[in-house]
Amino acid sequence: MSFKNLAAIICGAMILSSSICFAAVDGGKIALGGIMPGMSETDLINAFGQPTYKDGDDWTYKNFQVEVERGRVEKVSTRMDSITTPDGVRVGQAADILNSTFGRADKVDNDSGGVEYEYYSTDGTKKIEFKVVNGVIAKISCDLRD
């Protein structure tokens, strides 16, 4: 095999592999209104006070819900437009903003009633998920990945 052929194969492989890469979101950007998966229960209470309702590990606040396990936030989610991601994405925005903000989704699921777009942190420990209904963001969730 000539050097030119080998170089062409290597370049082709690099182009192909770069075209199938997915989003890699900085872990600090996987948050809602300053609430991050992995933050301590104490930090959550210090920042937002006691929840309006508790049902075991599920805590409800005015504009968001949290799952707390073993003294830390496992998941935070909202259906309200008053809470944003660190990049300013909120419920009620057109789903087009997801590609421009986060890039191509790591996982897309067609769900009854909508489409779910998942983006994983660069270290793979967290994810942010957007439920989209009729082209509009209806729910945002951030959680630790098992």
Interval 83-120: pLDDT, tens = 999 999 999 999 999 999 999 999 999 988 899 999 99
The identity of residue 66, as a single letter, is V
Lowest model confidence (mean pLDDT) among 23-27, 37-41, 77-81, 115-119:
23-27
Q: For residue 73, list its beta bridge partners.
A: 68
Per-residue confidence at 8, pLDDT binned at 50, 70, 90? very low
Are 113 and 55 in contact by the 8 Å Cβ rule? The answer is no
Question: Greatest CA span in the chain, whole angstroms?
Answer: 71
Rounded CA-CA distance 6/13 in Å is: 11
| pLDDT value for 24 | 77
pLDDT level of residue 9 (50, 70, 90 thresholds): very low
Contacts 24+ apart (CB under 8 A), 58-67: 63/33, 64/32, 64/33, 64/35, 66/35, 67/143
Identify the band that residue 13 occupies on the pLDDT scale cut at 50, 70 and 90.
very low
